[in-house]
Structure 1
Amino acid sequence: MFIILCIAKLLMRVLNLLHRGATTLPGRIALRLKPNILFNLSRDVYCICVTGTNGKTTTCAMTEKGLIANNKPCFINKGGANMMSGVVTAFIKNATLFGKPRCKYAVLECDENSLPIITAGINAKIIVVTNVFRDQLDRYGEINTTLERIRQGISNSPNAMLILNADCPVTYSLKFRCKNDVISFGVDCSSSVSVVSDSPLCPLCSARLSYHSFIYAQLGSFYCPVCKYHRIKPDLLATDICNSSFNIGEKRINMSLGGIYNIYNFLSAAAVMEHLDLCYLPIQSFGGSFGRTESFYNGNNKITLMLVKNPVGFSSCINLAFTQYGIFNSIFALNDNDADGRDVSWIWDVSFGRVSSNKCYTIGTRAYDMAVRLKYDDVKATVIENENYRQMIDTIICDNTDFVIFASYTAMMDMRHLLIESFGGDEFWQ
């Protein structure tokens, strides 16, 4: 293994010198040379896995911040490299040339489809499931398929503590599909956010769910009138919510990030801290992950970059931006590359009713599709053709106002290095 680690670490150094980011390729090569390398590198590491449709990257980054604040050195798979090769790369970075871990704790973002493969190679101590929504039908399939992959991943770790979203009937049904102990989290509020429900039926008996109150999509105080499956009182409960402030028991939390979905991310990370008997209060100052409500500044003007990749996440970001960010211009960047999903029909399930920008632009491989979709909600958009992100940057500079960019994954990656070049910041892999 010594030679394999030497090769992988040398490759990391070369990729970093080329400013390419060494997030997956070293792991891919190491797996070719030694398929069970993850088992060897993870033996003495306390592994925390985070999976689910939305919120994985932010939850991992919050958990990382919490562990470091509690003097628990940890490592994380950066840049959203959440498949097997990205996880292996993270372990290689953490290892000495002789395979010994430098940090005891690993916080691992895990793609839902990849979770069974990853947990087969590690001894996961905690598995967090943030939520389960419809996402990239051409890659993930329907919700039940995603849920089954997550269940398979959990079955590889029967002693892991499960941390589940109690407000999501799909996610919390894992309690009844797995033998693991469970810690739950949720919020006590109702919301007027208009987001299409991905799963209106009971995951246990397929009857139509009823609700005492909605939060968004299928999240809320649900109950099944047939099999009596219902939302329980969560172990960690956010109450008295006012924008980004809320209570957990007697503690008042004031988050730096906005949005009800970030309250869920906070709660999932806080549940990890609670299970480890650590203080979660330092997490509230967390300022955001790359591309996830990330801020850049053009003088006094703020540019906010928001990753959007499915109807629930897109609608939630629109609600946050147009209710809390004041006056700004919008850019909607949509690609249909493999990492985005080739099928972009999901944008027709997004609620654009709150969009009220002075100016609105679209860009990306499917810029015209996005412009047509916006037109159907009476939003007029100017198309920036030929994926010309330099022109986009010039537009931001010349318009001399705040901007919010809603971008699919590869569109975000295409433009982010130009945003850093123009306005400052760190590369995603740093």
Structure 2
Amino acid sequence: MGFKSSLAITAGKTTQWFLRTFSKGSGASMPGRMATKFDPAILATLSEGYDVILVTGTNGKTLTTALTYKVLKQKYDHVITNPTGANMVQGVTATFLEHYKRSKKQVKKLAVIEVDEASMVHVTKQLHPKAIVFTNVFRDQMDRYGEIYTTYRKMLDGAKQSPNATLVVNGDAPIFNSVKVANPVTYFGFDNQPDGEMLAHHNTDGILCPHCQHILHYKFITYTNLGKYYCPHCDFKRPELTYRLTEMTSLTNQSSDFTIDGHPFHMGIGGLYNIYNALAAYSVGRMFDVSPEQIAKGLQLDGQVFGRQEVIQIGDKKVTIVLVKNPVGLNQVIDMIALDPEPFSLSTILNAQYADGIDVSWIWDAQFETLPTLNIAQYTVSGERYQDLKLRLEVAGIPEDELIIKEDLEALVASFKDAPTKNIYVLATYTAVINLRKVLTEQGFLKGGQAE
């Protein structure tokens, strides 16, 4: 190791110690930012000796990463990940810094790393992953990513730099079969419904055949543009799946039971969209020779994941925080909360910082019109752009006099105690989740980043 690399590691480690000691946190990306100032290629040094799995895509990166980490931990002792969601180069660097130790001992080391789609090309310049998971590509943060094909190109540019990495991709997404790639590819998807004949909703991205530009047809659809697709005008169709979900036994707002390749699984988190995350984790697990029985244990999360149906107890109220950031994700969350058999209260928080997406016009493409049909006892809106949210809900059919406005998060948290239901769902954009968790920590409902 050269002097520059040693200096970079020392600077990064010192920054981590300082932030942990004086700010009661790991500092997320700051140590990585400091280390790369001294050695821009330090990530290559820090990741030596690791088999790396990268996880990228629009929705599901964080939970897929967490599930894959838990699955691999069932077989391997030395597995690291970036649980804070710091998924750009500096954050990834900080993760490897956190676990860096000089050792001559040869052990099997794995790293499951969430990576921002636009950062893929920068990360794979230094890392040489064994596998890259593509979860999905949906319209998201238009001001930053652009259209879905622009986003996918960024992901492919990253994969292109690691041609030996196996792409573990959602086979139900037509975009992942739209161009030829140099990498070996493994597909996962749903195969639990009889063949029929249907079209996706007209307001759906990515439903044109990449070969002939005709509208794709489907034998069945799971949601949005995902499913068993084919083009009636040419030979484009869903590829053969390597790993298949063959049965959906039960699906509630809090859990799911399903079968993959003949093996039953239970997951203590609701929502159809989260089954795809489990499929991705299962696929990586099998690639690394983890048994189905071990995978089943790994899918039973024993801790909460930031903003992914994270439950906070406030008095006698159960507050479930769910991150939302684009129309497809929000629609799936609405479908999930619709499964709750009991009346509930709903709080929505909309921010428009860079990490959220400055353009909030996406809320007009989400199916808020479904909300008046649900058993919702109280509506509350908050966040920097609460006025946009208030107008959107009014247009969706919720009377103005039924909308409670809480401009700041302290007032919102205080209102939870007086909610008319025991269950409260909070749908919030990224920085809103961070700010809300900060308030909850200050008020003692969260401690050390975990729910009390």
Q: The TM-score by the shorter chain falls in which range? A: over 0.9
Counterpart residue type for residue 17 of structure 2: R
Q: Say if 1:193 and 1:316, in contact at 8 Å, map to a contact too.
A: no
| 1:40 counterpart = 2:52 | no
1:358 counterpart SS class:
strand
| 1:397 counterpart = 2:417 | yes
Per-residue CA shift, 1:145-200, capped at 9, x if unaligned?
01111111110111111101011101233xx4212111111113469998952222
Counterpart residue type for residue 186 of structure 2: I
Give matches, 1:330-345, under 5 Å.
330-345=346-361
2:348 counterpart SS class:
strand
| 1:234 counterpart = 2:241 | yes
Structure-2 change in CA distance of 1:195 and 1:101 (3 Å): farther
1:105 counterpart SS class:
strand
How much has 1:72 moved relative to structure 2? Answer: 3.2
**One of 62, 65, 70 as aligned partner of 1:60:** 65
| 1:427 counterpart = 2:449 | yes
Q: Say if 2:80 and 2:111, in contact at 8 Å, map to a contact too.
A: yes
Q: Distance in 1 between matches of 2:13 and 2:65?
A: 24
**One of 371, 387, 400 as aligned partner of 1:368:** 387
How much has 1:267 moved relative to structure 2? Answer: 0.4
2:215 counterpart SS class:
coil
For structure 1, list consecutive stretches of 5 or more residues without a partner in the other structure: none
Structure-2 change in CA distance of 1:366 and 1:26 (3 Å): same
Q: Distance in 1 between matches of 2:128 and 2:217?
A: 38
**One of 260, 272, 293 as aligned partner of 1:248:** 260
TM-score in terms of structure 2 length: 0.89
How much has 1:324 moved relative to structure 2? Answer: 3.0
2:396 paired residue number = 377
Q: Distance in 1 between matches of 2:200 and 2:80?
A: 35
Q: Distance in 1 between matches of 2:189 and 2:368?
A: 26
Give matches, 1:21-100, under 5 Å.
21-96=26-101
**One of 203, 217, 233 as aligned partner of 1:210:** 217
Q: Distance in 1 between matches of 2:412 and 2:148?
A: 36
Q: Distance in 2 between matches of 1:101 and 1:84?
A: 26
Q: Distance in 2 between matches of 1:323 and 1:310?
A: 21
How much has 1:399 moved relative to structure 2? Answer: 2.0
Q: Distance in 1 between matches of 2:108 and 2:349?
A: 38
Q: Say if 2:76 and 2:108, in contact at 8 Å, map to a contact too.
A: no
**One of 410, 415, 429 as aligned partner of 2:436:** 415
Give matches, 1:154-173, under 5 Å.
154-173=159-178
How much has 1:318 moved relative to structure 2? Answer: 0.9
Structure-2 change in CA distance of 1:8 and 1:99 (3 Å): farther
Q: Say if 1:59 and 1:266, in contact at 8 Å, map to a contact too.
A: yes
2:427 counterpart SS class:
strand
Structure-2 change in CA distance of 1:89 and 1:100 (3 Å): farther
1:8 paired residue number = 12
1:245 counterpart SS class:
strand
Give % identity: 35
Q: Distance in 1 between matches of 2:439 and 2:108?
A: 33
Q: Say if 2:380 and 2:406, in contact at 8 Å, map to a contact too.
A: no
2:116 paired residue number = 111
Counterpart residue type for residue 207 of structure 1: H
Give matches, 1:271-420, under 5 Å.
271-279=283-291, 280-286=295-301, 288-324=304-340, 326-355=342-371, 356=374, 357-380=376-399, 382-386=403-407, 388-399=408-419, 401-420=422-441
Q: Say if 2:132 and 2:165, in contact at 8 Å, map to a contact too.
A: yes
TM-score in terms of structure 1 length: 0.93
Structure-2 change in CA distance of 1:318 and 1:194 (3 Å): farther
Q: Distance in 2 between matches of 1:99 and 1:25?
A: 28
Aligned length: 425
Q: Say if 1:23 and 1:77, in contact at 8 Å, map to a contact too.
A: no
Q: Say if 2:174 and 2:207, in contact at 8 Å, map to a contact too.
A: no
Counterpart residue type for residue 423 of structure 1: F
How much has 1:271 moved relative to structure 2? Answer: 0.4
How much has 1:327 moved relative to structure 2? Answer: 1.6
Counterpart residue type for residue 379 of structure 2: C
Structure-2 change in CA distance of 1:102 and 1:71 (3 Å): closer
1:340 counterpart SS class:
coil
For structure 2, list consecutive stretches of 5 or more residues without a partner in the other structure: none
2:270 paired residue number = 258
Structure-2 change in CA distance of 1:3 and 1:100 (3 Å): farther
2:189 paired residue number = 186
Q: Distance in 2 between matches of 1:96 and 1:34?
A: 18
Q: Distance in 1 between matches of 2:386 and 2:81?
A: 34
How much has 1:422 moved relative to structure 2? Answer: 3.9
Q: Distance in 2 between matches of 1:264 and 1:64?
A: 16
